[in-house]
A and B are shown apart, each in its own frame.
Chain A
Amino acid sequence: MTHTPTTPDAATGEAEATEAWTPRIVAFVCNWCTYAGADLAGTSRLQYAPNVRIIKLPCTGRIHPLFILKAFEQGADGVLVSGCHPGDCHYTAGNYHARRRWALFRRLLEFTGIDAKRLFFSWVSAAEGQKFADLINAVTAEVRQAGPFDPTNPARKRPWT
């Protein structure tokens, strides 16, 4: 397990705001396309930012919006959701279902105070190793720009003191 450059505070678990802050990004990706694409980026020795934690799911259709909320809740500064291009879903239509959910959920998140700049969606196929690397670099740069996710944001604020 890679060593995270930030030191979580023992009492709160929050990242201390030091110059060493670097974005923590969670990526929910589908097994058949984006995960394979990420793998290809690796085997092709493409360099990309190390800030993303990948969570592999069988299909983007498996993603309940709660996963996105949970990531922000538990410490993510940004969330990426990525899967197969429309028409290429291994389970035929999982990504079509996901697309509708995302279209609505992102508006709700934006309305309730999660900056749209922190939430990313993409289609990355198994052959798009370069696209994956470029995407991670872009997402990381944008989240770095947005700064650490505010621990007092209602989606993150711990329910106890």
Chain B
Amino acid sequence: MDLATLRRDAAALLSDGRARLVIGFRERAGSCVPAFVTDAAGAETLVYDDTCTANLAAYLRKPEIRHRRPVALVARPEVMRSLVLLKAEHQLEADDVVILAVGGDTYHGVLTIEETERLLNETYADLAPDEAVLAEIGRIEAMSPDERARFWSEQFAKCTRCYACRAACPMCYCERCIVEKNVPQWISTAAAGHGNYAWNVIRAFHLAGRCVECGACEAACPQGIPLMLLNTLVAREARDQFDAHPGYDAEAEPVVGSWNKDDDEEFIR
């Protein structure tokens, strides 16, 4: 990875005012953590490797970050998709962000949102979900309903309702989340039983057609709950049934918010 150029570009963006904040990664105790650079000299601390699992687009949710726009973000393909999708959902304007695009071992340079969309469609159009995740989904689908219930019972019992999954996700930008609605209290806030089930299942559903499968939620979960099983399954269904490819088209309609008169209804009596 051409870190030297990435750092030089980041520094230049700050020096000439094309960005007022660069969000990337720095090294701390052997792994990558998010870095917030406001002056050109700080760009030297930027690093990138495969421990950089956070989806930095999540930071655009914070007003104090938005106040520093234009914001430059170091973005791998899934993060680029998040940015394009945020634009499609009218959560950011083209001028708000500058992208320092990375993919695998390649640093692609400084891009606008439009250029990012082009790069995604030309070079990263077929991001396949993790083989191990797909295999595990297959294993669970082959179980009986009772076995599945037992599996998920065990997994959801670990959930402490810390909402790190929500915090790490760029698409969870609601100022008042469904769990925070208490008139009525739709989802029990107790960290057990049906409260944990409803939280995890509804979050997965609210991401239907919107999840770019970046894995930041699972990486964030302090309890190691296999959240990508849920999100990958829903993403697969949204893709297979409704051709959902979130984050590749900044003008796309939201998949669950739109409809086609010929949508499948075999399952409806």
A residues within 8 Å of B by Cβ? 65-66, 69-70, 73, 86-87, 93, 96-97, 99-117, 120-123, 135, 150, 152-160
| Inter-chain contact A155/B269, CB cutoff 8 Å | no
B80 within 8 A of A: no
| Inter-chain contact A154/B190, CB cutoff 8 Å | no
| Inter-chain contact B195/A159, CB cutoff 8 Å | yes
6 nearest A-B pairs in the assembled complex, by CB-CB distance: A113-B149, A159-B190, A159-B193, A96-B259, A157-B193, A115-B145
Interface residue stretch chosen among B62-70, B90-98, B232-240: B232-240
B242 within 8 A of A: yes
CB of A38 to closest CB in B, whole Å: 15
| Inter-chain contact B263/A99, CB cutoff 8 Å | yes
| Inter-chain contact B198/A69, CB cutoff 8 Å | yes
| Inter-chain contact A104/B186, CB cutoff 8 Å | no
B8 within 8 A of A: no
Question: How far, in whole Å, are A154 and B192 apart by their CA atoms in the complex?
Answer: 9
Binding site of B, secondary structure by majority: helix, strand, loop or mixed? Answer: helix
B140 within 8 A of A: yes
**Which residues of the partner chain B approach A160 to less than 8 Å between Cβ atoms?**
190, 192-193
| Inter-chain contact B268/A104, CB cutoff 8 Å | no
Question: How far, in whole Å, are A117 and B135 apart by their CA atoms in the complex?
Answer: 25
| Inter-chain contact B153/A108, CB cutoff 8 Å | no
| Inter-chain contact A154/B267, CB cutoff 8 Å | no
**Which residues of the partner chain B approach A154 to less than 8 Å between Cβ atoms?**
149, 152-153, 156, 193-194, 196-197
26 contacting pairs across A/B (C-beta < 8 A):
A86-B265, A96-B260, A96-B263, A97-B257, A97-B259, A99-B265, A99-B268, A100-B258, A103-B242, A107-B233, A109-B201, A110-B145, A111-B233, A113-B150, A114-B145, A116-B145, A123-B269, A150-B149, A152-B149, A152-B153, A157-B197, A158-B193, A159-B191, A159-B192, A160-B190, A160-B192
**Which residues of the partner chain A approach B208 to less than 8 Å between Cβ atoms?**
104
| Inter-chain contact B149/A101, CB cutoff 8 Å | no
Partner of A66, one of B153, B178, B258, B267: B178
A66-B187, A112-B152, A113-B151 known; 4 new pairs, CB 8 Å cut-off, are: A69-B197, A86-B261, A104-B234, A113-B146
Question: How far, in whole Å, are A23 and B208 apart by their CA atoms in the complex?
Answer: 31
**Which residues of the partner chain A approach B186 to less than 8 Å between Cβ atoms?**
66, 70
Partner of A100, one of B152, B201, B242: B242
Question: How far, in whole Å, are A105 and B207 apart by their CA atoms in the complex?
Answer: 11
CB of B21 to closest CB in A, whole Å: 37
Max chain B C-beta neighbours (<10 A), residue from A86, A96, A100 = A100
**Which residues of the partner chain B approach A117 to less than 8 Å between Cβ atoms?**
145
